[in-house]
A and B are shown apart, each in its own frame.
Chain A
Amino acid sequence: MSAGFWAMGGYARYVWPCFALAVVIFAWNVWSARRYYAAARRRAARALAMADSEKQ
């Protein structure tokens, strides 16, 4: 990857931030979805545990 590649014909400061932001958005989506799913699992498990203890 030559210096020319990173320079992007002089447009580097426009091109690379775009790809960087894309990486950030993708990463955020993964992180946020995983968090959401994990939290939903925890809440469901807790609700089930409470229902079980009430039955006893």
Chain B
Amino acid sequence: MWKWFYKLASPPFVYNTAAALIPWFTSFAVVALGYGLVGGLVFAPPDYQQGDAFRIIYVHVPSAWMSEFSYTLMAVAGAIALIWRIKIGHAVAAATAPIGASFTVLALVTGSMWGRPMWGTYWAWDPRLTSELILLFLYFGVMSLRTAFEEDGPRGDRAAALLSIVGVVNIPIIHYSVVWWNSLHQAASVAKFGKPTIEPSMLWPLLAMFLGFMLFFGAVLCLRLQGEILGRERQSAWVRDAVKS
């Protein structure tokens, strides 16, 4: 069983696995997103309070989740690389950052668009919105720090990893901000254990969108990861075969 785990630290193994996974992730993502979009836009009934505006949930909530998930993944990968010196962790962290940042932008903008009809304002400085904005700044900080070490890639990786770990304290703040403070933003209605307080015909497309976003993320991550590995392992022998094919 541990043999599988050791393989994870091997760049050629990860590279080839990533290449193999991309078509699977992509096709399942298309299916899940298709179902989610059709179910959410066409078949789900309008919300009795928010009317058709609630349909923004089908992009807003999955992207917000992805922004938090990506950052956590980036921090964990960086921590694994720093603590156990498993270099592939840095590659994963570097690949995740731009993807996570883009989902944060999506979450912020769709949230803003949803806020205008619902709360009357495009923006409010309430805890959840503010901490999500901070998340975007953290992404940029990590990415900037990594690229600032131009000549010294490995050192840049380590510095970026440390910074992402320091910033991970923001993630529980985002998540629990609606619990800890009086927030404009709605409290969790899906991610509660037990019965979610949302009707099934609205819920299933949402879950499908979550799945679709995750699968899409997986596909894009694998592609970027391949690029990152090639960049870091240029000197290795296995790269020759990989590049020829």
Contacts and interface: CB of A to CB of B under 8 A. Distances in A.
Interface of A: 5, 8-11, 14-15, 17-19, 21-22, 25-26, 28-30, 32-34, 36-37, 39-41, 43-45, 47-48
B51 interface: yes
Contact of B114 (A18, A32, A48): A18
A11 B230 contact: no
Interface in B186-245: 216, 220, 223-224, 226-228, 230-231, 234-235, 239-240, 242-243
A17 B109 CA distance: 10
Interface residues on chain B, size class: 35 or more
Contacts of B114: 14, 18
B167 interface: no
Contacts of B223: 33-34, 36-37
A19 B117 CA distance: 16
A44 B53 contact: no
Nearest to B233: A44
Given A10-B51, A11-B51, A18-B56, A40 B230 contact: yes
A14 B116 contact: yes
Contact of A44 (B46, B102, B230): B230
Contacts of A14: 53, 56, 113-114, 116-117
For the complex, would chain B's binding face be called helix, strand, loop or mixed by DSSP majority? helix
A32 B143 CA distance: 15
A36 B224 contact: yes
Contacts of A34: 223
Contact of B224 (A8, A21, A28, A33): A33
A34 B235 CA distance: 22
B139 to A, nearest CB: 14
Contacts of B124: none
A29 B227 contact: no
A10 to B, nearest CB: 7
Contacts of B126: none
